[in-house]
Amino acid sequence: MTVAEKIALRAEPIKPKIGAIVRNSKEELLSGALSEEIRRLIEDRGVLVFPEIHFTDEEQVAFTKTLGTFLPEMEGQEVYDITLDKKINPRSEYLKGSLFWHIDGTMNKRPPGYAILSCKVPATWGGDTEFCNTYAAYEDLPEEEKARIDSLRVMHAAWNTLFYYEPEPSQEKLEEMMALGDVELPLVWKHRSGRKSLVLGNTAHHIVGLDWRESARLLNKLREWATSEPYRYTHHWKVGDAVMWDNSGTMHRARPYDPECGRLLHRTKTAGEEPIQ
């Protein structure tokens, strides 16, 4: 037996339905020996916290690569600066949508699989990141509600997120966002594992074929349910913390913070392994 094979995953749940804290050392995580166990754990827990692990960018990239196929950001960088500060990230405008519950990449054929955020500079106030477990939220729905929603389909669009943070956009901006297109997705994701999760968030515009009031009611009710206390974990950042989430079984959002305060998180991602179907 090699040294790597002897490493055991040391993790403890945070709440019954979401989250775990992983206590392994950076060296153990970077060895790759725990990758399979981490992948199994996160499918159940949705979010894993590595308190004050202090990954450098190179280490964060290396750790991400042990978990799946590395997915560079749109601009090709390996590590993306999450900040509302335009001086650090000139494209920070688009991050305003991240203040509302969402799944990353709903507009893509395969949304990203896992994502990892590392805290470089915490916010002076606010700036927590919240996660909710959309597997557990689905599984706890009453059976008649599951039967009602199982085959419903929802129109998603990036432009819908614009109205969350800029309710009266210029026509030019709306057209620009609309040019990104829209996509019809199932309300319930039937994963290849056999499990199901809810597909909601700020890109969800309306349920196909439903009266518009009924559609708004149902999307809002499910969002309220999925993000309610039992399924939600709020992470209060300390410098050096890393948090990883399973983008296919969770939603997340940042809580408001002073855009000028220098809050800075570094994000890496793996490619998604299945389309939303």
Q: Which is nearer to ligand SIN, 66 or 202 (CB)?
A: 202
Instruction: Tell me which of 223, 232, 252, 266 binds ligand SIN, using CB under 6 A.
Output: 252
Smallest separation, CB 72 to ligand SIN (Å): 15
**SS3 state at 170:** coil
Q: What is the DSSP string of 50-77?
A: ETT----HHHHHHHHHTTS-B---TTS-
Q: Does residue 42 contact residue 229 with C-beta atoms inside 8 Å?
A: no
Q: Which of 177, 23, 185, 175 is nearest to 93 (CA)?
A: 177
Q: What is the DSSP string of 220-251?
A: HHHHHHHTSGGGEEEE---TT-EEEEETTSEE
Radius of gyration in angstroms for the set of CA atoms belonging to the chain, rounded to a whole number: 19
Alpha-helix residue ranges (DSSP H) falling in the chain: 26-30, 35-45, 57-65, 134-139, 143-149, 158-165, 171-178, 212-226
Instruction: Tell me which of 137, 177, 265, 276 binds ligand SIN, using CB under 6 A.
Output: 265
Q: Which is nearer to ligand SIN, 52 or 214 (CB)?
A: 52
Task: Indicate the length of the chain as a whole number.
Answer: 277
Smallest separation, CB 71 to ligand SIN (Å): 13
The residues pairing with 117 across neighbouring beta strands, listed in sequence order, are 243, 267
Helix (H) or strand (E) holding 183: strand 182-186
Instruction: Tell whether residue 270 is a contact of ligand SIN (CB under 6 A).
Output: no
Instruction: Tell me which of 42, 79, 251, 254 binds ligand SIN, using CB under 6 A.
Output: 254
Over the window 152 to 171, marking each residue x when it contacts ligand SIN by CB under 6 A and - when it does not, the resulting string is --------------------
Smallest separation, CB 2 to ligand SIN (Å): 36
Q: Which is nearer to ligand SIN, 45 or 253 (CB)?
A: 253
Over the window 198 to 237, marking each residue x when it contacts ligand SIN by CB under 6 A and - when it does not, the resulting string is ----------------------------------------
Q: Which is nearer to ligand SIN, 24 or 201 (CB)?
A: 201
Instruction: Tell me which of 60, 66, 129, 250 binds ligand SIN, using CB under 6 A.
Output: 129
Residues 39-98 binding ligand SIN (CB under 6 A) are 82, 98
Where along the sequence are the contacts to ligand SIN (CB under 6 A)?
A: 82, 98, 129, 252, 254, 265, 267
